[in-house]
Amino acid sequence: MSAPDAKKTKPAGGSVKAAVKSLAAGDTLQPDQANAAMREIMNGEATPAQIGAFLALLSLEKCTPSIVHALADVMRSNALAVEVPRTAGPIVDIVGTGGDGQDTFNISTAAGLVAAGAGARIVKHGNRAASSKSGAADILEALGAKLELAPAEVAPVLSAGSFAFLFARSYHPAMRHVGPIRQEMGIRTVFNILGPLTNPARPDGMVCGVFTASLGRSFAEVFKLLGMKRALVVHGCEGLDELSIAGASKVWELKESGEISEYEVRPDDFGVGAHPLSEVAGRTPEENAVEMRELLAGRGRLAVREMVMMNASAALYVAGKVSSFKEGTVAAKAALENGAAVKTLDAYVAASKGTRVSKMHMVRSRSSGPVLGNIRCKLPCYINEGLQKMTNKLENLQRSATIMCRFCWPV
């Protein structure tokens, strides 16, 4: 009686192992090899050692546009699908790769909200801070938003205020196979640049900041390969991954024709003045949240406002809402001054939690006092004089028999 045939099993990470051997030998990795290796990684078929070796050997210098496209395409296909109708207009994302080491205010998040207030439809894809004090997810959470949106919730949230946020951690479950390894490695890998390329909503346009100019044209080429219609890849002076208020910024523009052009812009091309980077420094998520509300109400630091207007202008340009950067700045400034930007934030926060902002809750005090952070009243939004005196945070609001809280929403 013969013994039963041994069960045949596929070697773990065969494609990853082959890619590692190829890279170790100094060979050029081909897109199909990168695609196959990435599929094994995303499917949990590669060992931690294989993944670590692959990431260590695949340096950013070796990542040609076709390689990055192959990796991003697999990562997007493994993300939770998000369906967003285009009948109301194209979808635009505004994001940076991070890693610029400048720790500025949450410029791209603020710019996305301002652009949405000015008529663009923004679906921002982002995460918590990696190297800075406050990432997009951190500040939006501090402002009261619910980060964990199910795919079916995105379209309703977007329709409420033309802005939605996709928390990357929630939409890329396959990254659980890579996250711990990246953390242990502690070095920059190709995954540091894949985030901006893998928005599950598959936007039609993109404003993407890169931490080094060497990635500029490559990113524009990748966006073209991904089928994006329009994109601006930007790199600010002093290594910023966004348009800089301090001086020159390089821009790589992908046009609908497929042509990619490269040029340089400065603050005066947007109709604003130049300011040192020290004037746009970021703080903690809670402090940034307070400043965000000041900013969206047209107040706060001038340098921050003007840098946000520059980047919002770029998003409006990509969305086809304006034909020039100066026109975009005018539209962004109007959204700050007429209340549209802060209404966009309030509508997004309320919709993310499944509630609506009533007209009563949109009324704002004319007080010039400091803006409060995430305040949610459990009682109707009338706070008597006695409570005002007990809470120093409200001391600068208008005093009357009843005072309407200007930053609350239904709970």
- E strand segments, 70-196: 91-96, 121-126, 163-167
pLDDT at residue 387 in the model: 39
Q: Could you tell me the two tokens for 39?
A: 């599929």
Q: How far apart are CA 350 and CA 356, in angstroms?
A: 5
pLDDT at residue 100 in the model: 60
Q: Could you tell me the two tokens for 337?
A: 């001054």
Q: What is the pTM of this model?
A: 0.83
CA distances from 114 to 110, 121, 181, 347, 395 (A): 6, 11, 37, 13, 29
Q: How far apart are CA 86 and CA 178, in angstroms?
A: 33
What percentage of the chain's residues is helix, strand, coil (to nearest 5)?
45, 10, 40
> For the chain, where do the domains classified as CATH 1.20.970.10 start and end?
15-77
* CATH of region 15-77, choose from 1.10.1060.10, 1.20.970.10, 3.40.50.1820, 1.10.3720.10: 1.20.970.10
- Cα-Cα-Cα-Cα dihedral sign, residues 316, 322, 325, 328: negative
> Do 234 and 245 contact (CB within 8 A), yes or no?
no
pLDDT at residue 306 in the model: 98
CA distances from 148 to 122, 126, 169, 327, 352 (A): 17, 12, 9, 35, 9
- E strand segments, 15-110: 91-96
HSE-CB at 317 with a 13 A cutoff on CA atoms is 22
Q: How far apart are CA 296 and CA 14, in angstroms?
A: 52
**C-alpha angle with apex 71: 203 to 43, nearest 5 degrees?**
105
pLDDT at residue 283 in the model: 86
pLDDT at residue 38 in the model: 98
Q: How far apart are CA 283 and CA 303, in angstroms?
A: 15
- E strand segments, 24-127: 91-96, 121-126
Q: Could you tell me the two tokens for 125?
A: 């894809």
> For the chain, where do the domains classified as CATH 3.40.1030.10 start and end?
91-337
HSE-CB at 9 with a 13 A cutoff on CA atoms is 6
Topology of the domain comprising 91-337: Pyrimidine Nucleoside Phosphorylase; Chain A, domain 2 (3.40.1030)
> Do 280 and 245 contact (CB within 8 A), yes or no?
yes
**φ and ψ of 62, to 5 deg:** -90, -5
Q: What single-letter DSSP state applies at residue 59?
A: -
Which residue, among 128, 137, 153, 177, has the nearest Cα to 12 in the 3D structure? 177
Residue type, 240: L
CB contact set of 171 (below 8 Å; sequence gap of 6+): 79, 80, 82, 125, 151, 200
Q: How far apart are CA 190 and CA 377, in angstroms?
A: 44
**C-alpha angle with apex 161: 159 to 167, nearest 5 degrees?**
85
Q: How many residues does the chain have?
A: 411
Q: How far apart are CA 80 and CA 92, in angstroms?
A: 18
CA distances from 17 to 9, 44, 83, 400 (A): 16, 14, 35, 72
pLDDT at residue 357 in the model: 52
In tens, the pLDDT along 82-91 reads 999 999 999 9
Counting as low any pLDDT under 70, the low residues of the chain are 1-13, 100-101, 130-132, 355-411
The CA-based diameter of the chain, rounded to the nearest angstrom, is 96
Characterize the bridge pairing of strands 402-404 and 382-384: antiparallel
pLDDT at residue 177 in the model: 96
pLDDT at residue 12 in the model: 62
CB contact set of 88 (below 8 Å; sequence gap of 6+): 121, 159
Residue linked to tokens 């020290």: 278
